[in-house]
Every structure is written in structure tokens, then in C-alpha cells.
Amino acid sequence: MGWLKDETGLDRNAANFVPLTPLSHLLRAARIMPERTAIVYGDRRYTYGELDARCSRLASALTGAGVSSGDVVATMLPNILAQAEAHWGVPATGAILNTINVRLDVGTIAYILDHGEAKVVLVDSQFLDVVEKALTKMDGPPPTLIEVADPAAGFPASGRHTEYEDFIAGGDPAFPWVMPEDEWESLALNYTSGTTGRPKGVVYSHRGAYLHTMGVAIAWGLTKDTRYLTIVPLFHCNNWCHTWTLPAVGGTIICCRDITAKAIYDAIADEGVTHFGGAPIVLGLLINAKPDDRREFDHIVEVYTAGAPPPAATLAGIEPLGFHVTQVYGLTETYGHITETFWKDAWNYLPDAERYAIKSRQGVGHADMAEVTVLDAESMEQAPWDGETVGEIMARGNVVMKGYLKNPDETAKAFKGGYFHSGDIAFQHPDGYIKITDRAKDVIISGGENVSSVEVEDVLMHHPAVMLCAVVAKPDEKWGEVPCAFVELREGANVTEDELIAHTRKELAGFKTPKRVIFTELPKTSTGKIQKFELRKMVAEL
Amino acid sequence: MGWLKDETGLDRNAANFVPLTPLSHLLRAARIMPERTAIVYGDRRYTYGELDARCSRLASALTGAGVSSGDVVATMLPNILAQAEAHWGVPATGAILNTINVRLDVGTIAYILDHGEAKVVLVDSQFLDVVEKALTKMDGPPPTLIEVADPAAGFPASGRHTEYEDFIAGGDPAFPWVMPEDEWESLALNYTSGTTGRPKGVVYSHRGAYLHTMGVAIAWGLTKDTRYLTIVPLFHCNNWCHTWTLPAVGGTIICCRDITAKAIYDAIADEGVTHFGGAPIVLGLLINAKPDDRREFDHIVEVYTAGAPPPAATLAGIEPLGFHVTQVYGLTETYGHITETFWKDAWNYLPDAERYAIKSRQGVGHADMAEVTVLDAESMEQAPWDGETVGEIMARGNVVMKGYLKNPDETAKAFKGGYFHSGDIAFQHPDGYIKITDRAKDVIISGGENVSSVEVEDVLMHHPAVMLCAVVAKPDEKWGEVPCAFVELREGANVTEDELIAHTRKELAGFKTPKRVIFTELPKTSTGKIQKFELRKMVAEL
């Protein structure tokens, strides 16, 4: 411990200790580069000076509406201007931002509003009906709704609530922000998309989010010339904290309401987008875009992809189009990504197949994390770096949630032994790079043998007819469980169940081959993740 | 304040809160990129795995020599390998690193060793005599000396002390590092070169240094391809914390023992140096290098310059050679730089003279600082951004020292009113960019009027015969003080005192023109700063 023998007068004070918060980035940007373009949504574009003024108006209006320190303000918004503004304007009142997934059902929304005790909800006109219904299902007092109309996108104001622009017009553009007095104060509340039971409310601190913004800027090489497209929803780990990051470097945020190939190509060509994050399925959109939706551009677009490893076929298809893909890995509990496939120079000279195999690894921890590794979940001992011994991905560092709101039991369980338990099963290559084999709950146990659903999916994805697939356990009298595959075929492709099973048999042990193949469109979350719990329901009905 | 109504179970724990320390960067680099080149010194080059092992050996050997948590370990070393290694190896024992300026005299070194209570000193063979003498002048118990020989540089071991390589050879390469339990623990102790009275011991925390490494990497755009040359001495604000930064991005540190034009050009051409920091005088060295010392290179080298604004003539000379210069500003008390001349795109289109004038501004605070601004030192009110009203540069943020060791009075004075007082006099342009007019103690008061020595120096520097100059106050019976100029001429140039005074008279009010011009070589610090206190002594003898 580095305490000098005499530390008299060396304490923290107002000059040498300021609580870390991502709010500081926008305040600084507004002060030092007010004329720089901060954010673009369609025809609207605001400088850092203007964005700061709008966020201040929002904070002021919320305060006027009775919001104060420690309150929760929720949003039900796509990636539009108001959603980005809420990321500064809400915490600038001392309140906690609770972004709600716009695809949720009435019952779950009502649960979240009750559990989080939101005082105000900013709602896009598109989702007004569902939120209004949710209010009627609540047990507690319903929050005030502020409607965010988006006429340009076909969603004019209903007239039933105060509209966002009217609301903030009454606010003070010079409203003094409430800054944290302790960097451990809460900044955001994000409910997991919990596949079983009620969603859990993940709480972020100002400190964690600030440190992640610095880590993201370094890992991704963000600069003032970065033009960042919001594809990852801002209700998903607050857009992996990227939106909070851009003002730190002076870059520009481009808002994207609907994630289509055309919207992405247009943003790249018209707004010069240089960076975006998204699930591999977004890359698929771009590869399979109709000719009319494509645009020419002459720069390289940096892509962080997460949620699933990018399949080799996807990498082979996307690289020649001008996209440079890096896989990152994380969870709602870790503010978005905490690992990256940090690239070694020697790998540039490998054949494509080997490069793609490396890119399918989740990689190593960012500089903002103390440790991301694979431990035996029982003994908490480090798994050997042998490329095969599996354990659970565990992490410790400042980019880990405070815990689950009003759920000390689940919080304690998640932090057992001094590490955050990810629930993801993985091994580490001899160089320490992490490779996920499965979610703990997705492992299939067939005749006492563990089957990695990811391994089976990888083999299926190499079949030319397969566009997307997912493998889950099917209860079996003899084996306990057997693998069952769900497959989306490429347009115009044709293959039979037997042919696909034969294809997997060439690569896999018999107990790992799927015993059934179902051809269907796969259910997905708003971030493009396949919903295996829906597939398990379908299996139960087979 | 963002505390949720119910924060049960949301406390800091081992999984979600890890004390910030720059030590973490090297540990991570050794884990995830052990094969990458970390550091180069002459013919010696070590990977991150090897550097980690050497630093661990050093920590282990120091521990074996009786060093423990809270002790101070000093160094008297140029920018060689051992000096960089001490930046990790010393704090890895829980001790505090005290790098001493190698140009100091015996008396001052004795004072620092007594005041800091160093237990061990690592000494380069070149400076062994002076340190041995200092030990005899100490009041307290003398530290153990470990001699760092550098035979390749002409400084073989004396044989009188344990040599560094032998010392660390006995250490354990797997020694477990002592990491801070509280990020406010002390990391480093840097004595100011105090021009009056005894030097003050500036104490850095692990937190401040970590946050500055993240801020530096972002501000300067450092990546794994960065190859950084150590020109700023590691005993000067720990090399502005740059050496601690490089492992965060996976770049390479190139050590430079003697700062000559040839050494710098060779490092650029042979080692591909992409970044370095240094005083404007270093740029002068490169511009005025002999043809034989120059080397060809085809990339742009990023330079952070500080200590004095880069003169227009220097910028005009250095840019065509392939160097891109950004001024930064800071003090020992601020871990190196806390501002940068953050560049606005519109400025790219300005005529050179205007661009250079902007580059002479100290600029705006980094993203790692909460506030760097100009306040009235009496009222602590913000000076208007009018390009003329002067005040004192004040700063608050996490990249500000803990305080001065065993000097609570000076610490309290430095932090009066909740800001760190820089002692630098400046105004802010209408865009908020800070421009220093003088050090508080360098202002000349002539007939009741303030004369900025910097302003007079700027005018002198525009005379083609002037290579370097400095203006100080000369006591005067009539006016109180008058400006007195000290000038170094360019090789072969010729000009008289009267001609130079006439030159300044064309640009400046009469009371601002120097009344005397003395042609002489200017006394400089090891970092290239002109020592005005030496000039004041010369003035007294005129």
C-alpha cells in the first residue's frame, strides 16, 4: 500500500478530486468546440453548443415537472434524437435514466415501470399505445408521459400528451446540471431481457460509465473525425456507452431510427459514417442488400460486432465491401463490451479461413477492465490456457454493474467469489484469447456428454444453403437431451433435413449431430440475438 | 445526487470496483500481448512479457533489500531502460517512486534524499560521484545505492556498488505485484525545480496517473502502432506519464539517453518513431541539425511541445521536415500536460502566420480534466473571454497532484478556493482558448504598467538573427523595472544591441522595449526551459 509515512495535507479536495461522470464530456465539448457538429438525425443537425442547450432544457423541464435527485426517468424510444438527449438531460437532473426496450410487451413494461418507479416516461408516438396500456396494468402510481412525435418517420403527435419539443421549449438552456457528488451514484437502469422469470434491473454508476467511455475511445481509436452511427439500440446497455463517448473525442453521432441496409448505406455515403456497432445479423443485412439499397463509399468502416461470433461466411462477404470487423463481447451487466479480439500483426498474413477463425474469438479484456478470464465455476480456479478446458467467463473491474435493483440475492449470486459471473461457457486458447462455447443454460447434455450448441451451429453455418441457425436441446427418453436445429435458408436455397444432418455428421461426433432440423424464420431480439427460449417452447410442442 | 431510493446490495465490491492504477496496463499487456515489443534501448529490446518479468524482478529484489509499502525509492537516471522499469518495478513493491533530476547539484540532491527519505537510489554510473557526495551531506540515514552501469554509452560500472543487472537477476520474475488497495495511495514523488527556496515534493496518486494515461491516449490518438520516443525526461513529471501510457495501447517505448538531433533522427528512421514530446528547443535542434545528422523518413511524426509556446519561425521550419506539432501545457503539479491546442478544422485553411499564432495558444483542457480556465486570482471570478483580460490559469480535476510532501501550508495555498493555482498569467480568446502572457513572477512592472516578457520575446524572435531569447526585469531608478533582453544569435548572424532595440520599437510601446540587450548563451534546464532566475542574477551584476 503506497501511503507515504507522512501524508499530512495530501487529502482529496475540490481541486484534485472530481467525481467521474460521462456528463463531463458533453459539458467540455460545449465549452471548447461549441461549433462542431455533435449529432445528426435526418434533416436535423445540432452542434455541441446546441446539443448542450437542448439537454439543459430537457433537464430543466424535467425538474420543473417534479423530477429530482434519485428519481427514475424512463424512455420508450428508438435511436432518435430525444433518446440520445435523454442520456445527458435525465442524469443532469440527478435522476437515473431507465431506457426500456421498445419491443417489450405490455405486461413486462408495466412490471418495469412499477419496479423502477419511473416518475416520467418519454415515449415515441409509435409506442404510445403499448405504454398507455401498460400504465393501466401497473400496481403503483403511473408516471407522467411525455410524447416524442416523429412526423418525418410517420409518427405524428397523438395530441393526448405534452409533446417533447413543447416540453423542452419551456426549459432553461442554461440550466445548471446536477453533477454527482460521489462517482458511485447511479446513472442508469437497464433491464435484462431475462429469458426466464422477471427481468432484472441492472444499475450503472457514473464512475463505471465514465471509465468505459475512456476505454472505448482507446480500444476503438475514436477521434474528432469519428462519425458514429447508432445501430445498437440506446436501450441496450445504453448503446454500449458509445453515445456518451463521442463528446469525449469531439466526434459526431448519427441517429438511426430503423435499422435497414438502405439506412446504413445511406448514412455511410451521405454522412461519412466511420464506426458502428451491431450484431452479426446487421452485417448479413448489408451483404444481402438489394442493389438499389447499396451505396458507393471509399473509406473503411470500423464495425464492432457482438451478441454472437461473426460467422466466417459473413466475414468473407463483408470485408470486400469496405467494412473492418472486430468482435467484442460483454453483457448488460458490463456496460456493453469488455473484451475485444485484439489483433496481432502476425495474423494479417494468415489465410482467410484462419483469420476468420480468430475473429470468431471473443478475445481479451479492454484496458478499462482489471480481468476478464475463464474460471472453473466451482473452484474459482483459472482454467488452463489449453484451447479446450471449459469454464465460465468471469470478470472484475470498474466496468461491471453496481448490481441488480432491489435484488440483493441475485446480486450476491452474480458477484460470488469476487468476480462477476457471466453465465457464458468458454475456453482460453494458449494465447489467453477467450472462445465462448455456450451460454451455461444453452449447453445440451446428451447421454451424459456436453454438447456445445455453438459448435453444432458453426458446422451448420458452413453449409451453403444455411443463412441462420440455432441449436437447442430437445428432451429425449433415451439420451436425456439431443440437439435440435432450427434453420433459416438463404433466398432460393433448397436442402432437406436429412442432407443437413448428413452434413453435420461429416464434421461432428454422432451424439453432437442434430436429431431434428426445423426450417423456420428464427425469433430474434431487437438487437438481433436469436431467442433460444422461444425455440425451446417450439421444441416442447414438437 | 443520483442515489436510487433503494440501493440495497449495490455497494462497491471486489468484482465491480478495482482501484485505478497505471500498473494495471503493463500487467494486462504482459497477459494479452506478451510477444509484442514493449521497449527498445539501443541494441536491447524487450517484449511485454520480458519487460513485465524484468520489472517483477526489480520489485522482488527491492523487496528483498528491505523496501516495503510506503517507502520511497529514488532514481538518478537518464531516459534509459532502468528508469522506465523503475516506473513499474518500484510501485509494484508498494513503494513510491522519486525520480530526481540528473542535473541537480550535490546540496539539492542531499536535501531531496533527506526530505523524501529515500531508502534506495538507483544511480547511473555517470551521476554516481555527485550522488555519493550528496550522501555525505545528508542529515538522515543514507539510502542504499544500486548502480546502473551503461557501458555502451561510455559509463561502465564503478565496482563500488551492486550493479542493477546483478541486483534484478536475483529477483523473482513472477513476483506478485503489490497493487493499491485505495487508488488515492501515492505513486510518485517529483520535486519541482523551484527557482526560489527549497524544491517542493509533488505527490501523485495512482488514480491521477491512471486517468491521465487514458486521457493522453485519447488526446494524442495513441494506438498499438505508436512508437514513442522518450525525450522529455522520465524525472520530469514522469515523462508527462507517457511511459505509463504506452502499455495501455500496446505501443513501443524507445529510450533516448542523450537528446541530440542525430539520436532523434536515427530513432525516427531506424525505429519508426511516431510520437514524442519535448520543449520547442528540441524542435530547434532538429531544424538546425547538421546535414550528416539528418535522416530521411516518410511518415509524419506527432510532437507534443510544452514549456514555452513554439515560435512561428520554429513551426515554419519544422513542419516541412515531417513533424506535426501540437502545443500542450501543464506543470509538475498536473502530471504533465492538462491542456492542448485542440485543432479546429476551419483553421486548416488559414495562412501560415495565423495558424502559427493559434498554435502558440495553450488551448483547452483535456477530457481527463474537469476545468482548466483563467480566473481573477483575488475574486476567483472567471475572466471574460475577450482576448485581453488577464488572470491566473486555474485548474481542477483528477489530474492534479495530491499536494506537496510535508508542506501542508504550500499545499493549502496552491489549492485555495477549490482550484489549483498555476502561477501562470493568461487571457482567454473569445473561443475560450488560453494564451499565457507570463509567469506571475516574470511580469515586468515598468512605470506602473505591466509588461509581458513573453510579448517582448515574441517580437525579438521574429528578428532573423535571433535564435533564442529571454526578457527579464532590470531594476531601474526611474521606472522601477525595465525590460532587459538576453539573446542567442543564429550561427553566422550579426546584429547590434541598437538594431534589436529599434526592431522591437517598431512593434511595441516604448515602455515595453528592452533597455538593454545582452548577447550570451542562455542557461537552460534539462528540459530546455530557459532559467530566468539565472538571468536575473546576471542582471543584478550588470
**C-alpha span between A472 and A452 (Å, rounded):** 9
Q: Between chains, do A16 and B396 touch, taking CB under 8 Å as contact?
A: yes
**C-alpha span between A7 and B424 (Å, rounded):** 27
User: Residue ranges per domain, chain A?
Assistant: 23-209, 259-440, 443-540
Domain spanning A23-209 has what CATH number? 3.40.50.980
Which has more confidence, B160 or B192? B160
Check if A23 contacts B (Cβ < 8 Å).
no
The predicted-structure confidence for A509-541, as pLDDT tens digits, reads as follows 888 899 999 999 999 877 777 888 889 988 988
Q: How far is CA A18 from the centre of its chain?
A: 28
Check if B5 contacts A (Cβ < 8 Å).
yes
Lowest average pLDDT, out of A233-242, A281-290, B428-437, goes to: A281-290
The predicted-structure confidence for B112-126, as pLDDT tens digits, reads as follows 999 999 999 999 999
- Chain B contact set for A208 (CB, 8 A): 16
**Residue B540, H or E segment:** helix B532-540
Question: Are B24-209 and B259-440 in the same CATH fold?
Answer: yes
Closest by CA position to A215, among listed A20, A17, A37: A20
In words, the CATH class of domain B444-540 is alpha beta
B541 phi and psi angles, rounded to 5 deg = -95, 0
Say what percent of chain B tops pLDDT 90: 83
3-state secondary structure of A243: helix
CATH architecture of residue range(s) A443-540: 2-Layer Sandwich (3.30)
What is the distance in angstroms between the Cα of A398 and the nearest Cα belonging to chain B?
Answer: 5
**C-alpha span between A120 and A31 (Å, rounded):** 29
- Give me the amino acid identity at A225: D
Check if B32 contacts A (Cβ < 8 Å).
yes
Query: Residue A63 region, left (φ>0) first, then alpha (ψ -120 to 50), else beta?
Result: alpha
With contact defined as beta carbons under 8 Å apart, do B25 and A424 qualify? no
Check if A370 contacts B (Cβ < 8 Å).
yes
**Residue B504, H or E segment:** helix B497-507
What is the distance in angstroms between the Cα of B434 and the nearest Cα belonging to chain A?
Answer: 11
User: What count of other Cβ atoms lies within 10 Å of the Cβ of residue A533?
Assistant: 14
Mean pLDDT of chain A: 94
- Give me the amino acid identity at A368: D
Longest distance between any two alpha carbons in chain B, whole Å: 78
What angle do helix axes A128-137 and A106-116 make, rounded to 10 degrees? 60
**C-alpha span between B88 and B28 (Å, rounded):** 13
Report the first-to-last Cα separation within chain A, whole angstroms.
61
Runs of H (alpha helix) within B221-299: 237-240, 242-249, 261-271, 280-287
With contact defined as beta carbons under 8 Å apart, do B255 and B41 qualify? yes
B154 phi and psi angles, rounded to 5 deg = 95, 15
- Summarize the confidence of residues A102-117 as an average pLDDT: 94
pLDDT(B229) > 60: yes
The predicted-structure confidence for A412-468, as pLDDT tens digits, reads as follows 999 999 999 999 999 999 999 999 988 777 888 887 777 888 889 988 988 999 999
Q: Between chains, do A4 and B70 touch, taking CB under 8 Å as contact?
A: yes
Domain spanning B24-209 has what CATH number? 3.40.50.980
Chain B CA closest to residue A11: B402
Give the DSSP per-residue string, A191-217.
Answer: E---SSSS--EEEEEHHHHHHHHHHHH
Q: Locate cell 471509465: which residue? A: A211
What angle do helix axes A242-249 and A23-32 make, rounded to 10 degrees? 30
Closest by CA position to A338, among listed B176, B366, B32: B32
Check if B214 contacts A (Cβ < 8 Å).
yes
Instruction: Look up residue B309 and give its three cell numbers.
Output: 509556446
Write the DSSP symbol of residue B289: -
Give the DSSP per-residue string, B197-219.
Answer: SS--EEEEEHHHHHHHHHHHHHH
Closest by CA position to B170, among listed B51, B54, B26: B54
3-state secondary structure of B268: helix
With contact defined as beta carbons under 8 Å apart, do B315 and B359 qualify? yes
Instruction: Look up residue A118 and give its three cell numbers.
Output: 419511473
| Dihedral sign from CA coordinates of B106, B110, B112, B117 | positive
- Summarize the confidence of residues B213-220 as an average pLDDT: 98
Domain spanning B259-440 has what CATH number? 3.40.50.12780
The predicted-structure confidence for A238-283, as pLDDT tens digits, reads as follows 999 999 999 999 999 999 999 999 999 999 999 999 999 998 889 9
Q: Between chains, do B367 and A12 touch, taking CB under 8 Å as contact?
A: no
Q: Is the ipTM of this complex over 0.85?
A: yes
**C-alpha span between A361 and A341 (Å, rounded):** 6
| Dihedral sign from CA coordinates of B97, B102, B108, B110 | positive
The predicted-structure confidence for A172-221, as pLDDT tens digits, reads as follows 999 999 999 999 999 999 998 654 568 999 999 999 999 999 999 999 99
Check if B430 contacts A (Cβ < 8 Å).
no
SS3 content of chain A, % helix, strand, coil (to 5): 35, 25, 40
**C-alpha span between B63 and B119 (Å, rounded):** 11
Q: What integer pLDDT is reported at residue B196 of this predicted model?
A: 52
What is the distance in angstroms between the Cα of B495 and the nearest Cα belonging to chain A?
Answer: 43
- Summarize the confidence of residues B358-380 as an average pLDDT: 96
**C-alpha span between B457 and B470 (Å, rounded):** 6
pLDDT(A90) > 60: yes
**C-alpha span between B147 and B110 (Å, rounded):** 17
